[in-house]
Amino acid sequence: MRSLDPRLTPARPDLAARHLEGQVAAERFVDGLWREVVDPQAPVRKAPAPDAMLETEALLGERVRVYETTDEGFAWGQLEVDGYVGYLPANALAAPGSAPTHRVCALRTLLFPGPSIYLTPLAGLPLGARLAILRTDGPFAVTASGSCVPEKHVAPLDRPESDFVAVAERFVGVPYLWGGKTSLGIDCSGLVQVALAACGIAAPRDTDLQEAALGTAVAPPGEWREPRRGDLVFWHGHVAIMRDARSAVHANAFHMAVTVEPIAEVIARIRRESRGEPTSIRRL
């Protein structure tokens, strides 16, 4: 049996996805069921425990292929958007409803039970959450469930943004959170993935996967002389987005936040931390 990346392979010794039969060893294989994220964001954890490591987050409207639901309330499955495998709270998922038509384009917005700002919000929604919008009612967009969101805070899925760096810059000051993908907390590769998604560009979740899949190499790191806005600078386990020739935006554990810094300072600090030089610079 061949070795597959466990982050992207729905297979365990006791259970695996049907399409992997003949490729991996497992006691049984199942087809799984499509489910949809119905919470604003759902944690995707490494193990079926509330304190297990956060691997990533799935946002409202995303689909998940679920292969097992445990008695303890966890669903084990694979995210459709980037193929990531992990454990989600089962109560954050439901059978797929109306197909999403819009995405949240504000850093965070509020979902109201009706078309009035004086009503108590039902939830806060992150940038990138997907909604099925049926109509408008004044300044509100009305969802398939009858709830309302400010129309200015959503955009049709077929109208992506054009500058992913500008999207990333909206997150400046947001706390650093390993595995996070929202304004409540985000990590370096999550920032890249969410910003690119807003522009209609699919990206893997983790830095090593992004480095292998995104763009083309500009030049060997030591020969990098003309950085451009949007260049991605990779290290082992880290990525930063160039804003211009001298500064970058990135979520980082040094500041425990998304920050804008001179790229020379970032490179020097990571070197001092004995994490080496940039491994590549990629241009989309």
pLDDT of residue 241: 98
Expressed in angstroms, the distance from the first to the final Cα of the chain is 35
Looking at the DSSP bridge assignments, the partners of residue 249 are 241, 260
Nearest alpha-carbon partner for 45 in 85, 16, 93, 73: 85
The confidence score (pLDDT) of residue 219 equals 74
278: left (phi over 0), alpha (psi -120 to 50) or beta: beta
Number of neighbouring beta carbons within 10 Å of residue 280 = 19
Q: Which of 100, 112, 7, 110 is nearest to 62 (CA)?
A: 100
Structure tokens belonging to residue 14 = 């006791």
Separation CA 168–CA 245 (nearest Å): 17
Whole-angstrom Cα distance, residue 204 to residue 13?
25
> Which pLDDT belongs to residue 274?
83
**Which whole-number Å values give the CA distances from 243 to 211, 251, 263, in the listed order?**
18, 14, 10
Q: State pLDDT tens for residues 171-203.
A: 999 999 999 999 999 999 999 999 999 999 999
Side-chain-facing half-sphere of 200: CA atoms under 13 Å: 9
CA-to-CA separations, 225 to 15, 228, 264, 269, in angstroms, rounded: 50, 10, 12, 19
DSSP single-letter state for residue 174: P
Classified as helix, coil or strand, 3 is: coil
What kind and span of H or E run contains 243? none
How confident is the chain (284 residues) per 10-residue block, as mean pLDDT? 85 97 96 98 97 98 98 97 98 97 98 98 98 97 97 98 98 98 98 98 98 90 80 97 96 98 96 90 94
Full-model pTM: 0.96
Tokens 């980082």: give the residue.
252
d(CA 130, CA 246): 35
The rounded distance, in Å, linking the Cα atoms of 167 and 107 is 9
Residue 2's pLDDT is 54
**Which residue from 157, 50, 47 is spatially nearest to 102, judged by alpha carbons?**
157
Query: What per-residue confidence (pLDDT) applies to 227?
Result: 86
Q: pLDDT digit string (tens) for 234-246? A: 999 999 999 999 9
